[in-house]
Amino acid sequence: MMAINKLTGKTKEFAEACYEQNSDLELRATGAADLTDCREWDITTGQWYNAIDAALTDRLRMEGGALFIDEAGRQLKYFLNKA
């Protein structure tokens, strides 16, 4: 979990839980930061987004997928290589 391991504290703990409990499709479907998650995990909305991004990045690496991001950080394309 390369991306998750770059995080620290509660943000890392939340990212690990997201990675373990959600599929790549569920992680990609997130929209606005979940304020309930933020309160329960004692993280900011920025940390929430960082955790979701790290969990998705590591899940895609594990599953052989790719996520293309533009310079502004917007997701451009996603695909999953399944043999």
List pLDDT tens digits, range 25-53: 888 888 899 999 999 999 999 999 999 99
Q: What 8-state DSSP symbol labels residue 76?
A: E
pLDDT confidence of residue 83: 44
Residues 6 or more apart whose Cβ sits within 8 Å of residue 32: none
Q: What 8-state DSSP symbol labels residue 77?
A: E
pLDDT(65) > 60: no
- Give yes or no for a contact between 63 and 9, defined as CB atoms under 8 angstroms apart: no
Q: What is the Cα–Cα distance from 13 to 25, expressed in whole angstroms?
A: 20
